[in-house]
Structure 1
Amino acid sequence: MSTQDTARFAGKTAIVTGAGSGIGKATALRLATEGARVIASDIAPDRLDALKNEHPDLDLVTVAGDVSSEETITALLAAAGDRVDAVANIAGIMDGFQPAGEVDDATWERVLTINVTATMRLTRAVLPLMVEAGSGSIVNVASEAGLRGSAAGAAYTTSKHAVIGFTKSTSVFYTPKGIRTNAVAPGPVATNIEAPFRSQWAGERLGPIMQTTVPPVAQPEQLAAAITWLLSEDSANVSGVVLASDGGWSAI
């Protein structure tokens, strides 16, 4: 990282969800290291406490809670104050690779709520501040499952396709107001998100496909680099794109 890069977010306020671990944690730390005041959200308070305790030199404000709830959204905006320059919608959960004929209502509703509704609600909440400022950048974390049908179960695949659609719609409406919205589509990443096969049929159908196509597991810091680039002014002419950071999986 160059000397110039270390100040890309100086004086800016960023909100990062899912900041207690994995991609969210790596992104929160990268933004804060580059000068941002980071409002870090996660459902697990202990993870956020560890984040702050491990990095007392960084400007990290933590907000624990379920990001799909309006209560947590309100707390995030209160912590951010009257200006939000960047948002990274990273919090997400996996399904059990259940196909449409096996997915249960609880899994479907929870995955769609966390992966899609929470992204919409936080975006909706920050847009008035960004519109007033005439600037802002939002990055939503989609997935390789948003680009193909063979990377997850019905619920997760649907949710990540929805994130991509939401990203493009938001870009169309708000780019003219100075707000850029983009998405990152990761492949396999070393995070704490569990992805068990709860369907024998899914294992039989997807297992051989994944064995021949899935690239090596990426580190969270590699995704954080792509996310912070899209949030920064280095990507000033980029809006409405889905950046695949998947080790080339989408090219297969």
Structure 2
Amino acid sequence: MNIAGKVAVVTGGGAGIGAATAAALAAAGARVVVSDLHEATALATSERINLEHPGATVGAGADATDRAAIEGLVALAESRFGPVDLYFANAGILEASGLGDDAEWDRALEVNLRAHVRAAQVLVPGWLERGAGYFVSTASAAGLLTQIGSATYSVSKHAAVGFAEWLSVTYGDRGIRVSCVCPMGVNTTLLHGREAEPQVATATRAVTTAGAVLEPEQVATAVLAAIAAEQFLVLPHPDVLEMYRRKGSDYDRWLRGMRRFQSSLLATEGQR
């Protein structure tokens, strides 16, 4: 896909991977609705991008889990730029609390999974009529591997990967393309925002110890390259592919290795 001239919606676009992706899209000639739960953040990001690419974006506050809000973002895009060609389901949360309680499971599944489902429900019928559309799911390497310290994050991200796979299988021959972004550590508030909480600290150390922490702009570059190639799996950290292969080739060995890794993290936490 050629990004130039396309219309995109990016959720979670106020900061981190979302903001970097919105900026990269604008630089490539797209027109972008920058959406975030926090309207002021979305507007600030939009204004910053427009300084370099005048008129390329519009900011909007919206809850990415709310169907009416998603419909509002699509309507805004259509009124300002035209029909939506690409939707980036990028908003995400980390509920790192071991097994979690019902409220934590609800929040994680709403943001990390059902927001994607509802966006597809809104967009896919129109894309099928037009014969084209692109859905980009920001999942995580945790969706291919796991997330030490957080059942809710690991399971909801596995589900996001599964949903993206299903979309590609079901609609890939009818003009709808899907990419699923699965990075490890990225320098965002999702990774570094809550280190004071013990279980979050363990989850953070699991990520930062496993590989390099990338900047959001590096992830955005990988995402746009994958879209240009219409590639499903986006791995900004190439090592994830080898980890995934090892997991699939000997699941029990991989589980034993992950338990050892977890024990080493907990031992280190106990020494701090």
TM-score range, shorter chain: 0.7 to 0.9
Shifted more, 113-122 versus 130-139: the winner is: 130-139
Residues 206-217 of structure 1 mapped to structure 2, 5 A cutoff: 213-217=209-213
**CA deviation digits over 1:37-65, x for unaligned, max 9?**
10111011111221132233141122212
- Tell me how far apart the structure 1 counterparts of residues 57 and 198 of structure 2 sit (CA, whole Å): 40
* Aligned mate of 1:141, from 128, 138, 143: 138
CA distance 1:27–1:209, shift in 2 (3 Å): closer
Would the alpha carbon gap of residues 150 and 39 (structure 1) be closer, same or farther in structure 2, given more than 3 Å must change?
Answer: closer
Does the CA contact (< 8 Å) of 2:16 and 2:187 recur in 1? yes
> 8 Å contact 1:215–1:249 — kept in the other structure?
no
TM-score of the pair, normalised by structure 1: 0.85
1:123 maps to which residue?
120
Partner of 2:221: 225
Counterpart of 2:161? 164
Deviation at 1:30, TM superposition (A): 0.6
What's the counterpart of residue 9 of structure 2? 15
Higher normalized helix content (fraction of residues): 2
Aligned twin of 1:107: 104
How far 1:214 moved relative to its partner? Answer: 1.4
Q: Secondary structure at the match of 2:226?
A: helix
Query: Are 2:176 and 1:179 aligned?
Result: yes
**Root-mean-square deviation (CA), in Å?**
2.4
Rounded to whole Å, the distance in 2 between the matches of 1:200 and 1:52 is 34
State the distance in 2 between where 1:91 and 1:164 align. Answer: 14
Q: Which one-letter code corresponds to 2:224 in the other structure? A: T
Pair 1:210–1:175, CA change in 2 (3 A)? closer
- Cα contact 1:187–1:247 (8 A) shared by 2: no
How far is 1:79 from its partner? 1.0
Taking structure 2 as the reference length, the TM-score comes to 0.79
**Structure 1 residue aligned with 2:59, among 62, 78, 81?**
62
> How many equivalent pairs are there?
235
Unaligned runs of 5+ in 1: 1-6
Q: In structure 2, do the counterparts of structure 1 residues 54 and 171 end up closer, same or farther at CA, with 3 Å as the change threshold?
A: same
Secondary structure in 2 matching 1:92: coil
Equivalent residue, structure 1, for 2:41: 47
> 1:33 is matched with which residue: 21, 27, 31?
27
Aligned equivalent of 1:248: 239
Could you tell me which runs of 5 or more consecutive residues in structure 2 were left unpaired when the two chains were aligned: 244-272
- Per-residue deviation, 1:145: 0.8
